[in-house]
């Protein structure tokens, strides 16, 4: 009989976390899901044990280490890229994951971000040099580098889940897509916008959750893995499609805001490794 994989998901009640939990359950995993006090939780589901815990508190890792793998999604102020909390919490993230590995958790997967890379034009793969330009990017990149050193030549399977531009689940998000959705539902008929010419790698949050779950239930592909579509799409095209799909009666005011000089005209993920994982899962 095959033993069901028991997987810890930190930040499980967050924007991405609820989709990862759902995708793991669909793959037959048992999930230990952590959340902070006061967070709204999804409907109860068979196979999920919810635990209210501050993972940075002393001894927290010992309370959640009876698992086969950890998907570490927890991160504070993720949408506020220059909040000092990103750097201030850096050692807490490292200590928690280090203690899990020391307690015998054999697989650690951590959510990364294309913001680790900083300004870049063209595709990003696992070897692309990182020059982060925000405190969020600096902290994510430093955590990745520290964990790569920590788990080098160790028995711990390490996976870095680098995500790109995420949309969907409009009520929970903080992206431009969520802001447009809220504006439309409040009766706005126009929305101030840039030229929308920049091209990015967009992925719907439910699909991101599916990709992350597919990565974690296997251990053949490790290291940096881009969770992405691999296809650059202009911001204008993606937003117009989003508005049309949801039937919103709202028009973009092109040029109301200038394009930011520090945004790349085109950046996307190299999807080679995630496509390999998804293809192996389907075969």
The answer to whether the beta carbons of residues 192 and 256 sit under 8 Å apart is yes
15, 136, 165, 167: the catalytic one is: 136
- What is the C-alpha to C-alpha distance for residues 8 and 108, in angstroms, rounded to an integer? 10
Question: Would you call 136 a catalytic residue per the annotation?
Answer: yes
Question: Between the CA of residue 93 and those of 57, 86, 246, what are the distances in Å?
Answer: 11, 10, 38
Determine whether 108 is exposed, middle or buried from the number of CB atoms within 10 Å of its CB (0-12, 13-18, 19+).
buried
Tokens 């520090």 correspond to: 262
Catalytic center residues: 136
């Amino acid at each position: 009989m095959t033993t069901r994989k028991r997987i810890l998901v930190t930040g499980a009640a967050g924007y991405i976390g609820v989709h990862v939990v759902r995708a793991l359950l669909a793959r037959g995993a048992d999930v230990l899901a952590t959340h902070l006090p006061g967070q709204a939780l999804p409907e109860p589901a068979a196979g999920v044990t919810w635990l209210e815990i501050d993972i940075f508190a002393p001894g927290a890792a010992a309370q959640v280490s009876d698992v086969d793998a950890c998907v570490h999604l927890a991160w504070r102020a993720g949408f506020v890229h220059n909040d000092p909390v990103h750097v201030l919490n850096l050692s807490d993230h490292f200590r928690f994951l280090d203690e899990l590995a020391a307690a015998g958790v054999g697989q650690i997967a951590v959510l990364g971000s294309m913001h680790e890379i900083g300004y870049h034009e063209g595709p990003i793969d696992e070897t692309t040099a990182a020059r982060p330009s925000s405190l969020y990017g600096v902290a994510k990149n430093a955590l990745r580098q520290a964990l790569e050193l920590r788990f080098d030549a160790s028995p711990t399977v390490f996976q870095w889940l680098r995500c790109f531009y995420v949309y969907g689940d409009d009520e929970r998000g903080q992206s431009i897509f969520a802001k447009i959705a809220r504006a439309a539902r409040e009766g706005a008929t126009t929305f101030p916008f840039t030229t929308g010419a920049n091209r990015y790698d967009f992925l719907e949050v439910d699909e991101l959750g599916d990709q992350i779950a597919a990565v974690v239930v296997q251990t053949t592909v490790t290291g940096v893995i881009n969770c992405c579509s691999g296809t650059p799409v202009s911001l204008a095209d993606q937003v117009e499609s989003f508005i049309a799909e949801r039937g919103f009666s709202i028009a973009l005011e092109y040029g109301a805001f200038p394009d930011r000089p520090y945004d790349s005209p085109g950046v996307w993920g190299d999807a080679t490794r995630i496509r390999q994982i998804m293809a192996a899962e389907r075969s």
